[in-house]
Structure 1
């Protein structure tokens, strides 16, 4: 599979008591669109960008949390690039061994660069898309995203974003009307 969807996390989350895959935890309109349009992840590999967890595969089990991506945090994520671990250590005095970095996660999604992505959709608000663009540069340098990859940015009013996400997902299989 040569398509990658990077979707911003969602403030709306399902309240399961344990960790569950991000695909099931997030419950905002874009995530609902993804689950209805592409419930089996056959048309694209799904990943997410979170203020708490950073960049991860959408199958990653996550706990319920409440964190917002601020301008300051987005700038720190951009500077940290693909090698900064998320979530950050609970204390600056603790070793930086918590979490995982985006480079390790994208490597796993591409079988360590053996299957680089040729088509990417970046979906989210302005700050999320800025961080996604910065990560994309690192992913290209790593060989996990092709230099000539088509990159689609889906951003704007939520209704339009849902339509564009559905269209991007469905174009992989030639489905018309945005319905599987």
Structure 2
């Protein structure tokens, strides 16, 4: 049974220079719990939601950055849906020719829907969860997440979240 875990990014990041996989870059308590619970990455396909990078596979190479997901930015992500590329251009007058969109990432993670997950876990704070829910709806419409997929939300005190993530 295919599983998808979407985890909020982390303010705590390893300071390694250059780009490294997000799975290794993020170093907050939830990411540490994930690495301890599934070090080989066999229990689920893992993706993250970032204010800077948008939705990406946890294997994506990322650099150090500092950005928070605000309600305004979350609303823009939701409005842009699965076809808006992230990161966004530095200026609205620049062409929108860089970044990756969530639809391309989920297609790669699910072999274009051939491995559509039957279970999805969303992990993060309320603003992140709003965007994650919207993206999952778009992924269902694309055929990359099963319509009958069971969606589990992991939110609350950090100790409870770490416990639920391990499970």
- TM-score under structure 1 length normalisation: 0.92
Number of the residue aligned with 1:127? 127
| Aligned pairs (5 A) from 1:50-61 | 50-61=50-61
Residue aligned with 2:49, SS: strand
1:162: how far off? 0.2
Q: Following TM superposition, by how much is the alpha carbon of 1:115 offset from its aligned partner in structure 2, in angstroms?
A: 1.1
Residue 105, structure 1, aligned to residue 105, structure 2:
yes
Does residue 16 of structure 1 match 2:16? yes
In 2, distance between residues paired with 1:20 and 1:113? 27
Q: Which moved more, 1:85-94 or 1:99-108?
A: 85-94
Q: How far apart are the structure 2 equivalents of 1:81 and 1:154?
A: 22
Aligned to 2:25: 25
Q: What secondary structure, in the 3-state scheme, does the structure 2 residue paired with 1:121 have?
A: strand
Q: Which residue of 2 aligns with 1:6?
A: 6
Matches of 1:76 and 1:157, distance apart in 2: 27
C-alpha deviations, 1:72-123, integer Å up to 9, x for none?
A: 0000000001001000011111111110000000000011111111000000
Aligned length: 167
Kindly indicate whether residue 88 of structure 2 is the aligned counterpart of residue 88 of structure 1: yes
> Is there any run of 5+ residues in structure 2 with no aligned partner, and where?
none
SS in 2 for 1:47: strand
Alpha-carbon distance in structure 2 between the residues aligned to 1:69 and 1:93: 23
Runs of 4+ in structure 1 over 6 Å off: none
CA–CA separation in structure 1 for the residues paired with 2:55 and 2:93: 24
What does 1:36-51 align with in structure 2 at a 5 Å threshold? Answer: 36-51=36-51
Q: Partner of 1:155 in structure 2? A: 155
Q: Secondary structure at the match of 1:128?
A: helix
Structure 1 position 115 matched with structure 2 position 115: yes
1:32 CA drift (Å): 0.2
Deviations 1:114-156 (A, max 9, x none): 1111000000000000000000000000000000000000000
Residue matched to 1:172: none
TM-score after normalising by structure 2: 0.99
